[in-house]
Amino acid sequence: MQILALSGSLRRDSFNTALLRAAAELAPAGAEVVLYDGLAALPPYDADTDPVPAAVTELREAIASADALLIATPEYNGSMPGLLKNALDWSSRPFPESSLRNKPVAITGASTGNYGAMWAQTDLRRVLGVIGARVVGEELPIAHAADQFNADGHLTNAELRARLAVHVELLVAETQPALAA
């Protein structure tokens, strides 16, 4: 089973990307978490763009071939980053055939503040719902991210590692019945 991991941050030392790497380490046997690194290549969404840019086709194909998604978002100005919203806008088209439709998705997010990107995760859940994705589980906020990761970007907080492992296990469990059908 393949889980495609999308980070809403392009920063080299992003806590959200580090969170997805930790998820890959903690994934249960039989589940592979693959970090997608092509979001920076996406142009701004424009429904009139024809032909569809190669970077968009790549993203759509990566989502379509994955069994589930795990998205980690920072919080910018009280919401998800424009980069992530842009990727979802491109991926949700054409709407009836969107590769996100009925796709199981789990949400998490890290921030250096007190709330662990909760507003961004709430907005992300709403947008994914409108798109037709199937968001599973609750959000997983990682507050005070600078204190949760070491200098090498490893999630060191044992409680958060355990919660992240359960988060990924739930996504796998919610995805497997769909795979069997």
Q: Residue 20: its pLDDT value, please?
A: 98
Q: Are 108 and 142 in contact (CB under 8 A)?
A: yes
Average pLDDT for consecutive 10-residue bins of the chain (181 residues)? Answer: 97 95 97 97 94 96 97 95 96 88 96 93 97 94 95 95 97 80 54
The residues spanned by each domain of the chain are: 2-180
Contacts of 105 (CB under 8 A, 6+ apart): 68, 69, 70, 71, 128, 133, 134, 135, 136, 171
Q: What is the CATH number of domain 2-180?
A: 3.40.50.360
Q: Residue 32: its pLDDT value, please?
A: 97
Q: Encoding tokens for residue 43?
A: 């142009």
